[in-house]
């Protein structure tokens, strides 16, 4: 999609990553403590900063998960050019200074000339793959967390509904879907229920017998 912006950054909408760190990942770790398997998907990853932010967060705050679990961080985009940059893990000074906490820059990046390269242990945590959300999805594992941020807004309602339907089929029964900050009003609340966690709105599958409008699990404001 040549006309869709590829704008992104590390830890974009920091509050989202705080909700993942403080609530969502601890809950998923408890729930998956026996199978020790966790599948995460950045479904429109652009040049990779979103997926590397997840990897950094997990490596830094949940090192056991990064080292001893079957952790999959799949990052996909339709654009091969964006995927090539993402795979290289190399960013300009401006890109790393934008929202990346300095402690993470020190710990997980090396300066190479005028560029910064993400360290191999972070880079190797992420699998990049081309997936066009407008086409049938390839076979994917059930996802515990899907980040589908800042891409739906560029499609019309019918296409949004089609893409959300695909997310519905691949999201684990207790998994979480995250949209972009400006996308939460999108009408995806017929099959997903909004859940407010630490002032971030996420979406979960709505059980067929959900009678209270899906708002019973609010933990934030
Ligand atoms: C604005 S960026 C969002 C990047 C990141 N998710 C974020 O929130 O920072 C939108 C991305 O969607 C990708 N995109 C556009 N159409 C797509 C499609 N049909 N399938 C997969 N990705 C697509 C673009 O290539 C671009 O990288």
Domain ranges of the chain: 14-205
Per-residue pLDDT of the chain (221 residues; tens, 9 = 90+): 568 999 999 999 999 999 999 999 999 999 999 999 999 999 999 999 999 999 999 999 999 887 889 999 999 999 999 999 999 999 999 999 989 999 999 999 999 999 999 999 999 999 999 999 999 999 999 999 999 999 999 999 899 999 999 999 999 999 999 999 888 767 676 789 999 998 899 999 987 766 444 443 333 32
Ligand 1 site-directed mutation target among 15, 20, 46, most atoms within 8 Å of CB: 46
Centre of ligand 1 to C-alpha 179, Å, is: 12
Contacts (Cβ under 8 Å, ≥6 apart) of 130: 76, 77, 78, 80, 83
CATH of domain 14-205: 3.40.50.150
- Rounded to two decimals, the pTM is 0.93
């Amino acid at each position: 999609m040549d006309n869709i912006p590829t704008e992104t950054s590390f830890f974009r909408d920091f509050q989202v990553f705080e909700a993942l760190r403080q609530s969502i990942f601890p809950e998923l770790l408890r729930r998956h403590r026996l199978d020790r398997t966790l599948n995460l998907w950045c479904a429109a990853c652009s040049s990779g900063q979103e997926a590397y932010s997840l990897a950094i967060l997990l490596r830094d705050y949940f090192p056991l998960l990064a080292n001893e679990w079957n952790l999959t961080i799949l990052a996909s985009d339709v654009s091969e050019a964006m995927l090539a940059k993402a795979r290289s893990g190399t960013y300009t000074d401006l890109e790393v200074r934008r929202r990346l906490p300095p402690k993470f820059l020190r710990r997980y990046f090396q300066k190479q000339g005028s560029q910064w390269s993400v360290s191999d242990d972070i880079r190797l945590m992420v699998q990049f793959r081309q997936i066009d959300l407008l086409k049938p999805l390839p076979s994917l594992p059930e996802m515990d967390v899907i980040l589908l941020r800042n891409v739906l807004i560029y499609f019309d309602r019918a296409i949004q509904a089609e893409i959300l339907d695909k997310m519905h089929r691949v999201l684990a029964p207790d998994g979480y879907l995250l949209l972009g900050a400006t996308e939460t009003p999108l009408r995806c609340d017929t099959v997903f229920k909004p859940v407010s966690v630490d002032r971030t709105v996420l979406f979960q599958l709505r059980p067929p017998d959900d009678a209270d409008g899906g708002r019973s699990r609010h933990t934030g404001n």
